[in-house]
Amino acid sequence: MSAQIRNPALPGIKEIQALTANEMAAVNDLIRERLSSEVALINQISEHIIAAGGKRLRPMLATIASRALGHDGNEPTQLAAIIEFIHTATLLHDDVVDESNLRRGRKTANALWGNAPSVLVGDFLYSRAFQLMVELNDMTIQRVLADATNAIAEGEVLQLLHVHNPDTDEPTYLRVIERKTAILFAAATRLGALVAGADADTQQRFSDYGLNLGMAFQIADDVLDYTSDAETLGKNLGDDLAEGKATLPLIHALSLADETEAAQLRNIIETGDASALPFVMKAINTHQSVSYSHARAVEFAKRAEQAISKVPDSEWKEAMLGLARYAIERTH
C-alpha cells in the first residue's frame, strides 16, 4: 500500500462530505427539481430512492475533480445530477434483475411497488438524464455519458450471462465490474476535468483515476458481502451468493480448492444455495481469499492515486486521495 493511502492525515469520508457540502446541496436541489413529474407514481418512487440517501460518490467526483483543477463554475452541478440519475436508474433495474428486496437498509422499489413500475421509472430517470445532457449543449459531454451508459448496459448483460456460472474467472469478473461500476466513476472524473478546461492528457489521467477508484470500490464492496453484517451493510449478507454471482473472494477460493471442495463450491454457485454460506465462508477463509481480494482492491486504489500524482496539491486533491483510501477501508 502506498504511503499516501496509509497517510492518516488524509480526509475521511465525513471530512470529504463536509468539504463538498455546498456543492452537493446544489446538486440535491437540482435532482429534486428535475425529478418532479405530473405522474404521481414517478414522484413516489423517485422520492423513495432519493430519501434512501447513499454517499453520492459518483456525482461528488465530478465536483471534486473540477475543483482540484481550479474550476469554480457551476457546470459540475448539472453533470453531477446527470450522473446520479444514470446511477439511480441502474439501481432500479439491478434490483429487478436480481430480485433484491433490500438496499441501503430499506425495502427496494420493486419490493414495494413491483417490477414493472421500477423498470419504467428507471427508464424515466435515464431519459431525464439525457434531457439534462442536451441542455449543456456540448457534444463531447454527451458522447462521454452516452458511451458510459452503453458500457453499463453491456456490463449488466455480461453479468447476467455469468450468473450461476462456476467457470467465471477473475478476468471476466474484472470486465463486468469495469463496465457495471468503474465506467461511471471514470466518466464523472473525466467530465469534471473537461469542464475545468483541462487538456486531453489531464482528462485521461482523471478518467484513469475514476476507473481505478471504481474498481477498488467494487472489489471492496464484494468483499463486504462476505465479511460484514446485514445491519451494517444495508442489504442481506450473502445476497451475491443467493443470486449466483461469483465475485472475487469466491472465484479465488474456487481456483485454489481441491477437487472435492471445488465440486461443492461449483454446485453452490450453480444453485445459488444461500444456506451454504458457512461452507463458502470456510473455503474463503481457508484460502485467504478475503486478503487476496483486498490486496487487489489496494492495487487499483494505488493506480488511482498514481493517476493524479501530478495534480497540484490542494484540499480537493487531498479529497481525491482520501476517497482512494476510503474505497478500500470502508465498512459499508
For the ranges 118-132, 134-148, 210-224, 225-239, which has the lowest average pLDDT?
225-239
Q: How far apart are CA 85 and CA 59, in angstroms?
A: 9
Length reported for the chain: 332
CATH number of the structural domain 3-329: 1.10.600.10
Mean pLDDT of 7-12: 79
What is the full DSSP assignment across 118-129? HHHHHHHHHHHH
Mean pLDDT of 152-156: 94
Instruction: With beta carbons less than 8 A apart as the criterion, state whether 223 and 295 touch.
Output: no
According to the model, what pLDDT value does residue 36 have?
Answer: 86
Instruction: With beta carbons less than 8 A apart as the criterion, state whether 216 and 328 touch.
Output: yes
Would you state the cell numbers that stand for residue 216, as one nine-digit string?
Answer: 477498488
CA distances to 55, 124, 281 from 36, rounded to whole Å, are 22, 11, 45
Enumerate long-range contacts of 33-41, CB under 8 Å, 24 or more apart. 34/81, 34/85, 34/128, 34/132, 35/125, 35/128, 37/124, 41/113, 41/117, 41/121
CA distances to 135, 166, 181 from 87, rounded to whole Å, are 19, 28, 9
According to the model, what pLDDT value does residue 97 have?
Answer: 85
Instruction: With beta carbons less than 8 A apart as the criterion, state whether 287 and 264 touch.
Output: no
Single-letter residue type at 306 = Q
Q: Residue 104 — very low, low, confident or very high, per pLDDT cuts 50/70/90?
A: low
Single-letter residue type at 223 = V
According to the model, what pLDDT value does residue 314 have?
Answer: 97
How many Å is the maximal CA-CA distance in the chain?
60
Mean pLDDT of 66-92: 93
According to the model, what pLDDT value does residue 232 have?
Answer: 58
Q: Residue 35 — very low, low, confident or very high, per pLDDT cuts 50/70/90?
A: confident
- Residue scoring higher pLDDT (229 or 86): 86
Would you state the cell numbers that stand for residue 217, as one nine-digit string?
Answer: 470500490
Burial of residue 135 (CB within 10 Å: 0-12, 13-18, 19+) is: exposed
Would you state the cell numbers that stand for residue 243, as one nine-digit string?
Answer: 443470486
CA angle 134, 135, 138 (to 5 degrees): 65
Share of the chain above pLDDT 90, in %: 72
According to the model, what pLDDT value does residue 5 have?
Answer: 47
According to the model, what pLDDT value does residue 74 have?
Answer: 87
Would the pLDDT of 238 be above 80? no
Residue 27 φ/ψ region, left for φ over 0, alpha for ψ in the -120 to 50 degree band, beta for the rest: alpha
CA distances to 152, 194, 246 from 165, rounded to whole Å, are 20, 40, 7
Q: How far apart are CA 129 and CA 127, in angstroms?
A: 5
Share of the chain above pLDDT 70, in %: 94
According to the model, what pLDDT value does residue 235 have?
Answer: 56
Is the alpha carbon torsion for 34, 182, 159, 99 positive or negative? negative
103 strand-pairing partners: 106
Q: How far apart are CA 104 and CA 41, in angstroms?
A: 21
φ, ψ at 106 (rounded to 5°): -125, 160
Instruction: With beta carbons less than 8 A apart as the criterion, state whether 135 and 127 touch.
Output: no
Helical packing angle, 115-136 and 40-51, nearest 10°: 80
Rounded to the nearest integer, the mean pLDDT of the chain is 91
258-313 residue pLDDT tens: 999 999 999 999 999 989 999 999 999 999 999 999 999 999 999 999 999 999 99
For the ranges 51-60, 83-92, 198-207, 223-232, which has the lowest average pLDDT?
223-232
Domain chopping of the chain, boundaries: 3-329
φ, ψ at 103 (rounded to 5°): -145, 130
According to the model, what pLDDT value does residue 201 have?
Answer: 97
Residue 272 φ/ψ region, left for φ over 0, alpha for ψ in the -120 to 50 degree band, beta for the rest: left
Would the pLDDT of 20 be above 60? yes
107 strand-pairing partners: 102
